[in-house]
Structure 1
Amino acid sequence: MTIAPSRDTTLCISLAGRPGTFGVRFHNHLYQQLGLDYYYKAMTTEDLPAAVAGIRALGIRGCGVSMPYKEACMALVDEIDPSAAAIESVNTLVNTQGRLKAYNTDYLAVRQLLEQHGLDPQTAFALRGSGGMAKAVASALRDAGFNQGLIVARNEQAGRQLADVCGYAWQPELGDLCPPMLINVTPIGMAGGADAQALAFPHAAVAAAERVFDVVALPVRTPLVQLAEKLGKPVITGLEVIALQALEQFVLYTGIRPTPEQVESAVAYAREG
């Protein structure tokens, strides 16, 4: 059943530097399955304060926040949930009668994935990245008991700061190190980007790794994931992250938790886009 938007439709949006279609298709598919008078639209902006003010003023119920806005949103809301406050990074805004509360469902999704995949907290890892999503992943690892970590980031200030906050080491490049788990939390391998065909880690490191985790969701099979699969390594994909975080956003926006079957259908539909 398709529900046509009306003057009473509740609007939810996303803000991203490069808007994608996954969230749009995922949320709208669930709205239709559940018969909810909601509509979701992806947007971008060059004026974040004005955009957030518009969310408040226009009664937009929820907003997904992606790169490069995750940290800048912190100063623009009324309340910050512990999931976002602990890592100073936002990916979800919920508007309740003009009052904006910020969350980080990326953090919640990664915590769930670590449990679902049964990862041993004693596993040493290297995480490449130092932005808002990297903060979410590194903090989720820290809070799950992973204490043997290395932050790999060319931005020394951001990299050192993230490493210090989480109790990990930092260095600008991986070099000859070959840790058991490799985690990419940069745009390397993202479709349409300058590094779409690049590997986030050296071939030798991937060959030596026991597991590879790539947070990039588009494409699902990034060059890093393809290489890991070719070498027979277990992988965690960005699709898993984006699906879980989108589900938690949906619950925050609507107050309804869909069934696993409904979520599976929405993910499959979103992937077709």
Structure 2
Amino acid sequence: MHDTSTVEAFLPTRDTMLCISLAARPRNIGTRFHNFLYRQLDLDYLYTAFTTDDVTAAIAGVRALGIRGCSVSMPFKEAVIPLLDAIDDSAAAIESVNTIVNDHGTLIGYNTDYLAIRALLASNQIPASTSVVVRGSGGMAKAVTAALRDSGFSDVTIVARNETTGAALARSYGYHWAGTSDQQPGLLINATPLGMEHQPGLPFTSEQVAAARWVLDVIAMPAKTALLDLADRHGATTIPGTEVIALQAAEQFIRYTGIEPPAELIAAASRFSREEPGQ
């Protein structure tokens, strides 16, 4: 069992490597995840969260101050691209950056959401011949859709009520768009907020869930959404958002530190990140 008490006891020095996040509404999940791993692995790193109304100046600060890594959330994921020196294929695939690595003053952008989805499709051994319905047309839906394309999936339908964004997303990756769908594919992916604690509901019909062999829900809180609960009861293989968020954060950690933590430590960091302080 991992000792979480040491996470609170670290004192940074002038040699401490700093990593940060930039978000419109900073949260503690990433902060707790990264700092947990730093302390468990005895790394002289510190991670903290910021918001800004001047992303250009913020990224200039990352470069000038030698900040090692920067996690990027909405609304900055596309705005940071022209401020970087290079972008990795993972970011180029969706024209969106959620991770910046400062390599001695050279800023490189990545998208670890995309990397996490690709890894989960592979680790769950979902054949590329499987039919897929993706619900949503926002940033995470874009990461999901690009990961499906680059993993060889061809039978994909994007379901989104917003025809402008939904049709554009489907067209960009060579897929189909529908405003609604009763299609019963092998893989269902929810990339919308529907199912979060403040937005309860099912993104798919009960018939669709009953017919699916795999169900992926990108929502991490709650860890067990109504969609995943229903899919479990129908015997589908479920892939929770907690795995998505843990994998994408682990990919960030690896790029910041050069260290790949063991799977059990990543799982412990993920659990710790979703706890309220003091639990």
Both proteins in one fold, TM over 0.5:
yes
Of 218-227 and 43-52, deviating more is 43-52
Distance 1:197 1:46, change over 3 A: farther
Percent identity between matched residues is 56
How do 1:77-226 and structure 2 match up within 5 A?
77-174=84-181, 176-192=182-198, 196-226=199-229
Question: Would you say the 8 A contact 2:194–2:202 is kept in 1?
Answer: yes
Q: Size of the alignment, in residue pairs?
A: 269
Q: Which runs of 4+ in 1 moved over 4 A?
A: none
Deviation by residue 1:60-117 (Cα, 9 ceiling, x = unmatched): 2111122333223222222111111122111101122333210011111111111111
Of 91-100 and 68-77, deviating more is 68-77
Unaligned runs of 5+ residues in structure 2 are 1-5
Secondary structure in 2 matching 1:72: coil
Question: Would you say the 8 A contact 2:158–2:176 is kept in 1?
Answer: yes
Unaligned runs of 5+ residues in structure 1 are none
Question: Would you say the 8 A contact 2:62–2:102 is kept in 1?
Answer: yes
- Does 2:236 align with 1:230? no
Give 1:237 deviation, angstroms.
Answer: 0.8
Secondary structure in 2 matching 1:269: helix
Give 1:21 deviation, angstroms.
Answer: 2.6
Question: Would you say the 8 A contact 1:89–1:135 is kept in 2?
Answer: no
Question: Would you say the 8 A contact 2:246–2:267 is kept in 1?
Answer: no
Task: Work out the CA distance in 2 between the residues paired with 1:133 and 1:16.
Answer: 15
TM-score with structure 2 setting the length: 0.88
TM-score with structure 1 setting the length: 0.90
Counterpart residue type for residue 133 of structure 1: M
Question: Would you say the 8 A contact 1:3–1:35 is kept in 2?
Answer: no
Distance 1:191 1:179, change over 3 A: same
Give 1:4 deviation, angstroms.
Answer: 1.0
Give 1:166 deviation, angstroms.
Answer: 1.7
Distance 1:77 1:163, change over 3 A: same
Q: 2:268 aligns with which of 259, 265, 268?
A: 265
Question: Would you say the 8 A contact 2:183–2:208 is kept in 1?
Answer: yes
Deviation by residue 1:219-251 (Cα, 9 ceiling, x = unmatched): 211232223223332211111111111111001
Distance 1:190 1:54, change over 3 A: farther
